[in-house]
Amino acid sequence: MSLCRGCGASIEWIRTTAGRSMPVDPEPVFIVEEDGGRERFITDEGEVVAGRRALPEEEGPACAVGFVPHWKTCPAADRFRRR
């Protein structure tokens, strides 16, 4: 685990299937996978999954588990975007 240089929050790194390191928030979330979903999540295996966060009543074995990319929650994300 390390700290974000922008906001100081704890982050973890997951290597994507494309071979890139992705900073993620350390707490896993339940995901409902949806084709064409607007949100992206990263699995432990580094796969990028489209979908949405599961509602509390949906959480359980039928849901996938993944991580939110840190750039989605970081208040300083704009400082690190490539232009």
Q: If you average pLDDT over every residue of the chain, what do you get? A: 92
| Amino acid 83: pLDDT | 65
User: Whole-model pTM?
Assistant: 0.85
Q: Which residue has the higher pLDDT, 57 or 80?
A: 57
Mean predicted confidence (pLDDT) in 1-13: 94
- Hey, CA dihedral for 21, 12, 69, 44, is it positive or negative? positive
Band of the pLDDT at 14, cuts 50, 70, 90? very high
Band of the pLDDT at 46, cuts 50, 70, 90? very high
Contact 33, 48 (CB under 8 A): no
